[in-house]
Amino acid sequence: MVEALREELADLTASVRAFLEWHAGTGAEGLPGHPSALHEALGASPSEGALAPRRAERGFPGPEAPSPPGPRGGSAAAGAPAPHPPEQRSAAAGSPAPHHPEQRSAAASASAPHAPDPRITAGPHPEPRTTEPQAMRPPVQAPWGPEPPPRPAVSAAAAPRADTAARANAPPPGTPEERATRLLLIAEEVRTCEKCPLHEGRTHTVFSRGSPLSEVVFVGEGPGAEEDLQGEPFVGPAGQLLDKMIAAMGYHRDDVYICNIVKCRPPKNRKPEPAEMAACSPYLTSQLALIKPKVIVALGATAVQGLIGTNEGITKLRGTWKLYKGSIPIMPTFHPAYLLRQPNAKRDVWSDLKEVMRHLGKSAPDRG
């Protein structure tokens, strides 16, 4: 008898708690309009939920492999769960608030119309993706994200109201705000991603930096030690050289969008495995689908491989236009880390970047 009462009380408590949690989660008191706040309101603390295949189904070896020691240094690197400073994360997610929108759009409209370039040839295409990245779907399915509400009886009454409120506050489709919001949602999904073994050794995921309104996107291989610590791509020595390359093209480092094939650091900076690249590629596909750049600069052979699936060496590939998904021109060039070891190759890279600028209708400063 006492047992039964106790159980009933426990059930009631759970019910009330579930309702309160859910109520807080829907933001039913009134939803904020700012994109990042909206992002919170949309329930963007995704877990993989039922949408993601389990580890074994993805073709990775069974039980968790021990986290490779790697030269990351410090105890934070030893596979501890990543701390989550929210400001840093949203900044890394691609500058949701562009600094100078007018300047951006002026830059975009100043560039030449996008005429087909006869030198651009289609490369082999990666396997068609069978799973659509979660964040490419309409952002508002349910305000609590992929998890079902704990108490359907309670949620049924309030859910439509919260859903409608979230929609009313969502930025209009096709606007820069909507693009930034969607990118934030993907970055948030990446932050908790465990789709490949690289998550085991990461300190931070590394999603992007720069402007989501950029006409040019630079794609690298994957985070290095410094990027893993800071949660931003190309902030180490190779990144400093990349910034100089970008400045030579007449851009500020924050004017262009920069990301990588894989979002977690491979141990000891090894090249990402094909299965890791495949697991991570839906995120890059979504990033590029939202940004729709006029040109992609692929930094190094791994970047080209991740984008179009070719195994050719970068010495052969560089300087020759390829096509991403049949539509976006790709210029393969040497990775800046290679340039740190082989400064003589800077001349080739500069020639490739000038070709990019020609394609964009930008005048190239004369640097030989």
Residues 6+ apart with CB under 8 A from 300: 220, 221, 314, 334, 335, 337, 338
Q: Which does 234 bind (CB under 5 to 8 A by kind): ligand URA, ligand SF4, none?
A: ligand URA
Query: Residue 264, interface with ligand SF4 (CB under 6 A)?
Result: yes
Q: Which residues have C-beta within 8 Å of that of residue 123, sequence separation ≥ 6?
A: 304, 308, 309, 310, 322, 323, 330
216 three-state secondary structure: strand
Residue 263 touches which of ligand SF4, ligand URA, none (CB < 5 to 8 A by kind)? ligand SF4
Residue 140 as a binder of ligand SF4 (CB under 6 A): the answer is: no
Whose Cβ is closer to ligand URA: residue 139's or residue 201's?
201
CA angle 20, 23, 27 (to 5 degrees): 140
Q: With CB under 6 A as the rule, give the number of residues binding ligand SF4.
A: 14
Residue 123's binding partner among ligand URA, ligand SF4, none (Cβ under 5 to 8 angstroms by kind) is none
Determine if 198 is a binding residue for ligand SF4 (CB under 6 A). yes
3-state SS string over 257-303?
EEEECCCCCCHHHCCCCHHHHHHHHHHHHHHHHHHCCCEEEEECHHH
194 near ligand SF4, rule: CB under 6 A: yes
Backbone angles phi, psi at 333, to 5 degrees: -145, 175
**Closer to ligand URA at the Cβ: 98 or 222?**
222
Nearer to ligand SF4, 193 or 297 (CB): 193
* Residue 271 token pair: 């090249």
- Counting contacts by CB under 6 A, is residue 261 touching ligand SF4? no
Around Cβ 58, how many Cβ atoms within 10 Å?
14
Q: Which is nearer to ligand URA, 140 or 216 (CB)?
A: 216
Q: Could you tell me the smallest distance in angstroms from the CB atom of residue 251 to ligand SF4?
A: 27
Binding site for ligand URA (CB under 6 A): 220-224, 227, 233-234, 236, 238-239, 260, 337
Nearer to ligand URA, 243 or 255 (CB): 243
CA–CA distance, 345 with 336 (Å, rounded to integer): 10
From the centroid of its chain, how far is CA 143?
22
> Which residues lie closer than 8 Å to 63 by C-beta, 6 or more apart?
none
- Between 283 and 334, CB nearer to ligand SF4: 283
- Residues at the site binding ligand SF4, with contacts judged by CB under 6 A: 190, 193-196, 198-199, 205, 262-264, 276, 279-280
